[in-house]
Chains A and B, each alone.
Chain A
Amino acid sequence: MSEEHPTEHARPTGSEAASEAAAVLHTVREILDERLPGAVVGLDGTLPEGAISLIAGRLVEAATLLRDDARLQFKIPLFVTAVDWLDREPRFDLVYQLRSLHLHATVRFKVGVEDNLQGLPSVPSLMSVWAGMNWLERETYDLCGIDFAGHPDQRRLLMPIDWEGHPLRKDYISFGEPVKFSDRGSFPPDAAVPRGAPS
């Protein structure tokens, strides 16, 4: 294979890959606009891939369309997560990454979620659309503190069942948190006490 120049093998990155991704995004957006006018807020221009912003209230309709439309067929839920932008309005970006084997593409959908000072911010559950959303939503509830309305089994998944707080939020303190021992009470977060010192 000596005749091949090194750069010929390079996968498209930068502008070429970005334009491929942008073309798929526009196709998906056009179909959503045509079938469900008003469900799409707009295109999220985050480089280099971009995403489609949806309205939380019409999430279930939009998801069903994404799965069932013959031109889209987003049948694989890849992941769900939330990105916490602490000081921004709305505070959270709920991110859904879906894959379509028909389009040979993966597309990211986002829902802006306002913080809820009385409890957890709530969005509709998509378990009725993809069975695999069960644990994806449980994990997001557990780690990011998003409530999925209509989820039949919203328990903590990765953290212990009695854990307080949601670790992947940006205001969650990673270190110095009280260490709990079920039989010895809790260890207070006291800076003067070195970690591991006997209580």
Chain B
Amino acid sequence: MIRPPDSPGTDQATTGAATAAEARTQQFEGAPAAATDVSGAAQPVFVEGLNYIGETPDGPLMELNMGPQHPSTHGVLRLVLRVEGEVVRYADPDIGYLHTGFEKDFERVTYHQGTPWTDRMDYLSPPGNNLGYALAVEKLLGETVPVRAQRIRVIMVELARIGSHLIWVGTHALDLGAQSTFLYAWRDRERVLEINELVSGVRMMTSFIRIGGLMADTPPGFEEAVRAFLRDFRARCDDYELLLTANPLWEDRTKGLGLITGEEALAWGFSGASLRGSGVSYDVRKDAPYSGYEDYDFDVPLGVNGDVYDRYLVRIHEMRQSLRIIEQALDRLEPGPITITNRKVVLPPRHELDTSMEAVIHHFKLVTEGFRPPAGEVYQAVESPRGELGFYVVSDASNKPYRIKVRAPSFQMVSAIPKLVVGHLVADVVAILGSLDFILGDVDR
């Protein structure tokens, strides 16, 4: 209730107690059929032209805005819901609040200058976005990065996947009232950010994976830090499962909710855990391996029912698989170069600038003009924490991309929200949104 500025309740502390109690009674007597407006007069909840849409056989239909600042929309998603009592009858997601026009911006900068923008699309998995972009441009150039760079890329991307899934499990559980999971998840994700900071100096927007290799080699202590994280996190995965998987409250809130079959999910363009929760075995790392993923031994967890609970289980198990991949990559990590040797594409090492005129020229040309890949176009997909993230790059043989289109996994999932939430209770909308694990930066770009 909004209290009017001249209401007795705000006047004097002496008269406040009685009138505030009166006001409270008035408020609750009226609810839910009436509310009070600023003038203090009782108003009907359903207002023609404001939120009253029409009558249905079971009662009036009311239009509600959920978001764009609603915490459970995980960003700035606005959902226009039409509800009949507590049941959602119509939903229209409204996006674009984070639209930054990255695809247009790419067209006016050189290829290397575009890398930091990729960090900011899916801001929970910056290394994954860096990797997709770098691989696409490398494909255009016909270059393959050295093995050490591939191993480190895999480690960083899988760590980012764990970090992203931790935020997801924390916020998803928080939305459904399980607050302790959130605090534990944040604690563990901090470890991932610390490793990011160790290798790149930046906690989130690392831009560590660059076209042609990596920003730098890993510093001393990297392997120990990652191994310590692996050792601790294996037990933590069990903790999360202990808190949620067999928790009857969690099961009640998530099982049989937000159902989508495998065929429907495919037609909606789903990918990642949201598709695998419906039992479709599709993972870019298996189907079209990149960065040496074909060499690692890992499983693709699958759901059965395609509900919120199965999507939850798939992601929890994915974190364990990521641990396996990181462990194998660490075991195989050997000294070696971390960038390609093509000096037309990557900057020369700093020490060469002191002694080599060619290095200075290459450095100058790369920084001022960038490189010119051959004309052509490529599509390169990677498995981001949310699904298939793809970069479609068109080159006209100039030093700037002619056109870049980002295939964002979250975009397709948000487009399917009406299909998933209609017919469910408003409280369950929150559970369904959380189970899709979309990031609005990824949706809007």
Contacts and interface: CB of A to CB of B under 8 A. Distances in A.
Nearest to B377: A46
Interface residues on B, range: 35 or more
A81 B331 CA distance: 42
Contact of B96 (A4, A9, A97, A158): A158
Contact of B147 (A6, A46, A135): A6
A81 B412 contact: no
Contacts of B381: 78, 106
A47 B96 CA distance: 33
A75 to B, nearest CB: 4
Interface string B139-181: 1101110110010000000000000000000000000000000
Interface string B255-274: 00000000110111111000
B267 A97 contact: no
Contacts of B264: 131
B115 to A, nearest CB: 20
Interface in A166-183: 167-168, 172, 174
A10 interface: yes
B392 interface: yes
Which of B269, B334, B336, B374 has the most chain A CB atoms inside 10 A of its CB? Answer: B269
A168 B266 contact: no
B231 interface: no
A97 B294 CA distance: 24
A156 to B, nearest CB: 8
Contacts of A108: 377, 379
Interface residues of A, number: 47
Given A9-B147, A11-B144, A11-B290, A158 B95 contact: yes
Nearest to A10: B144
B229 interface: no
Contacts of B279: none
A73 to B, nearest CB: 9
Nearest to A156: B96
A97 B390 contact: yes
B402 to A, nearest CB: 7
B90 to A, nearest CB: 12
B405 A81 contact: yes
B289 A83 contact: no
Nearest to B266: A75
A83 B139 CA distance: 20
B183 interface: no
Given A79-B392, A79-B405, A83-B403, A97 B379 contact: yes
Given A6-B336, A97-B390, A130-B267, A167 B101 contact: yes
Nearest to B93: A135
B390 A13 contact: no
A48 B291 CA distance: 19
A49 B271 CA distance: 23
B444 interface: yes
Interface in A116-157: 130-132, 134-136, 139, 143, 157
A75 B336 CA distance: 41
Nearest to B331: A1
A120 B416 CA distance: 27
A130 B140 contact: no
A9 B150 contact: yes
A62 interface: no
A194 interface: no
A104 B213 CA distance: 27
Contacts of A159: 96, 99
A102 to B, nearest CB: 11
Interface string B285-317: 001111110110000000000000000000000
Nearest to A93: B394
Interface in B332-374: 332, 334, 336, 374
Given A48-B142, A81-B392, A106 B99 contact: no
A46 B282 CA distance: 28
Nearest to B413: A132
A76 B390 CA distance: 13
B108 interface: yes
B187 interface: no
Contact of A131 (B268, B375, B378): B268
Interface string A82-111: 011000000000010101010011101000
B188 interface: no
B306 to A, nearest CB: 15
Given A48-B139, A79-B405, A104-B287, A157 B96 contact: yes
B390 A78 contact: yes
Given A6-B147, A13-B139, A48 B104 contact: no
Instruction: For the complex of A and B, list the 7 residue pairs with the smallest distance between their C-beta atoms, beginning with the closest.
Output: A132-B269, A135-B415, A47-B376, A79-B407, A75-B266, A132-B268, A158-B96
Interface of B: 95-96, 99, 101, 103-104, 108, 138-140, 142-144, 146-147, 150, 263-264, 266-271, 280, 282, 287-292, 294-295, 331-332, 334, 336, 374-379, 381, 388, 390, 392, 394, 402-403, 405, 407, 411-412, 414-416, 419, 444
Given A2-B334, A51-B377, A131-B416, 6 more contacts: A10-B147, A84-B403, A135-B415, A136-B269, A157-B95, A174-B108
10 contacts: A6-B147, A9-B292, A46-B377, A47-B376, A77-B267, A105-B288, A130-B268, A132-B416, A143-B103, A159-B96
